[in-house]
Amino acid sequence: MEKSEIIRLANEYIEREDDEGFKNQVKKLLADENFTELEDCFYKSLDFGTGGIRGVIGGGYNRMNPYIIKKVTQGLATYINNAAAGKPVSVVLAHDSRRCSRLFAETAASVFCGNGIKTYLFTSLRPTPELSFAVRRLGCISGVVVTASHNPAEYNGYKVYWDDGGQVVPPQDAGIIAEVNSVKSITSMPLEEAAKKGLFQLIDKEVDDAFLDMVRSCSLRPELIKKEGKNLKVVYTPLHGAGRVWVEKALSSLGIEVITVPEQAEPDGEFPTVKFPNPEEGSALSLALELGKKVKANLVVGTDPDSDRLGTAVPEGDGFKLITGNQLGCMFIYYVLSTLKEQGKLTPDTAIIKTVVTTELQRLIGESFGVRVYDVLTGFKNIASLMKIFETTGEKFVYGGEESYGYLFSTQVRDKDGVAAAVMACEMALYNASRGMSLLDYMNEIYERYGYFQESPFSFTFKGESGGEKIKKIMEDLRANQPESIGGIAVTSSTDFKDGVVKKGIHLPPSNVLQFILADGSYVTARPSGTEPKIKFYISCCEKAGVPLEEAKKTVAAKCQAIKEDLERILGV
C-alpha cells in the first residue's frame, strides 16, 4: 500500500472521527511516521459481516472505534426504517465489560435515536443471552450487543439481532451489509435530547427479573434442587465479565452455594488474570480450579466476558478434570432426553439441533431416544434460524448446542446461554450425586452405551493482509487436491459447503467449510474463522461400543494424533 494512500486515508479518518482519543491515536502514528502500524489500520475497512463486526480497538478504518460504530449503526438504522415501512419500531442495546463497550453502546444508541428509532439501553453490563431475551420480551425489531465474546482484551465487537432474538441471517444480513456499505452521512442525537423526546430509555429490573425467571424455568427437576441444592458447592468465575450477578443470583436463589473467584469477580476489560478470557482454554480456569481444590468444590464453572459460553470442571483424584464442550453437550442431551422420557414428556416431535462440527455422538444419543436431530452450519445464529422454522412446523425444541461451549435450553432465548447452562450443569451434577455417580461416571456411562468419541480441534493463526491470503490459499488447495487419506485412514467422501447443501430437508446456505469423512467413521472439517484471523480444523475419531473403554481411549487418541500430524504435513505448517 502506497504511503500517500495511507496518509490520505488517515487524514480522512481524522476528519470523520469525533472522539478526540481515537483521533489522536492516528495523529500520533502519522507524527511518528509509523507506516507499518498505519497500514494495518487502513489497508482495509473493518467489514460488517453476516452477524456484525469484530476487531482490534483503535483509530482507523480497520479498527473498532466510535466512527465505525456510527457508520455501522447508520446502515442498520436505515435498513430497519425501510423494513418498518413507517411503523414505529424499537431496538435494545447491551454491552459487556470490554474496553470502550459503554462508549460504543451509547454511540450506537445516539445514531438509532437520531434516525427516529426508540432505543432501550441497559443501565450497565449484561450477558449476551439477556440481550437476546430482551429483544423478544420488549417486542423490538432488532438488538445489538457490544462484545468481542472470548477474544483477547484488545478486541471489541458489535453483534446484531433480529426480531426473533437470533443473530441476523439471510435476507436481513445481506440487506444490512448493503446499507452499511452505502452510508454517505450519519444522523445522531444526544441521548439527553432523545430521552426528552421519548426515543431513549434506560432499562434494568423490568427485563432482569423476567430473564432470571426464565433461567430458573429451564430446570427439569426443581424439586431435586430444592431438596439437595444445599449439598452442592460450586466455584464460579465470570472471568472479569458480565456473568457474575446473574449466575450468582440464579444459583443462590435455588439454594446452591456459589463461591466466586475473588481475583476475577469484578468486571475488567483488561482481563488481568488471564491471557485469553475463554473458558474453552484450560488456563483461563486455573484460578477457579485452585480455589475448587482448596474449598473441596463439587463443580467448577466459568463463563466468558459476555456470559454466553460455559466451561466446567469436576473433581478427579486430588484435582479437577476439565470437561470439553462436546462432552458437556452430550451429557446435557442425555440428561434432558432421559428426564423427559422418565416424566412422560418425550414426544415424537421433539428435536435437538447441533452444528456440522459438533460430535456425532450427540446424534447417536438423540436418535436412540427417537427424537429428531438436525445439523446446521457453525454459529448459533443458524440454530436460532432453525428454531424459528420450528415455530411453523410444530417441532418441539428442547436443546441446541455447539462444540465451542455454547448451549441453549429455552425458546425464549435465541443464542447460547451460559447462565442457564450453569444452572443445568449444577442440576445434572446433583442428579448424578443422588445416584452415587459423578459427572465423569455419567460421561463414561454414555461412552459405554454408544461408543467412545474424541474431538481434537486445532487452528492456525495468520495475521494481517498476507494472513488472509494464506488462509484463502489453504482452502483452495484442499479443494483442488483433496487427500486420498488422512492419518493413514482412507478418505471415503467429502462435503463441500461452499455452494450450500441439504441435510434432512434443511437447506444449509453456502459456507466456506470443507468436511472429509474417513473410512472408520472419523471426520475432519476445515473452516476459516469468521471473527478471527485463523483457520480451524475439527478432528473427530471414534471407537464402537463394546470395546473396553480404556482400550478405546488409547486407540482413538492415537488416531487423532496421526490425523493432526498428517494435516500439518499436508498444509506445510
In 3D space, the residue among 141, 148, 147 whose CA is nearest the CA of residue 112 turns out to be 141
The answer to whether 2 and 39 have CB atoms below 8 angstroms apart is no
| β-strand partners of 312 | 301, 323
DSSP state of 168: P
CB atoms within 10 A of CB 367: 12
CB atoms within 10 A of CB 498: 12
DSSP state of 360: T
Show the CA angle centred on residue 359, arms to residues 353 and 362, nearest 5°: 50
The answer to whether 106 and 121 have CB atoms below 8 angstroms apart is yes
Catalytic position from the list 149, 404, 410, 438? 149
Q: How far apart are CA 410 and CA 121, in angstroms?
A: 23
- Using only C-alpha atoms, what is the Rg of the chain? 24
Cα 244 from chain centre? 18
Burial (CB count within 10 angstroms: exposed 0-12, middle 13-18, buried 19+), residue 470: middle
In 3D space, the residue among 465, 466, 461, 475 whose CA is nearest the CA of residue 533 turns out to be 461
Q: How far apart are CA 446 and CA 246, in angstroms?
A: 31
Helix, strand, or coil (residue 91) = strand
CA distances from 148 to 36, 101, 269, 491, 513 (A): 25, 10, 11, 37, 23
Active site residue 307: no
The answer to whether 156 and 101 have CB atoms below 8 angstroms apart is yes
Q: How far apart are CA 99 and CA 393, in angstroms?
A: 43
The answer to whether 467 and 461 have CB atoms below 8 angstroms apart is yes
Residue 153 backbone phi and psi in degrees, to 5: -60, -25
CB atoms within 10 A of CB 461: 11
Catalytic positions, written as ranges: 149
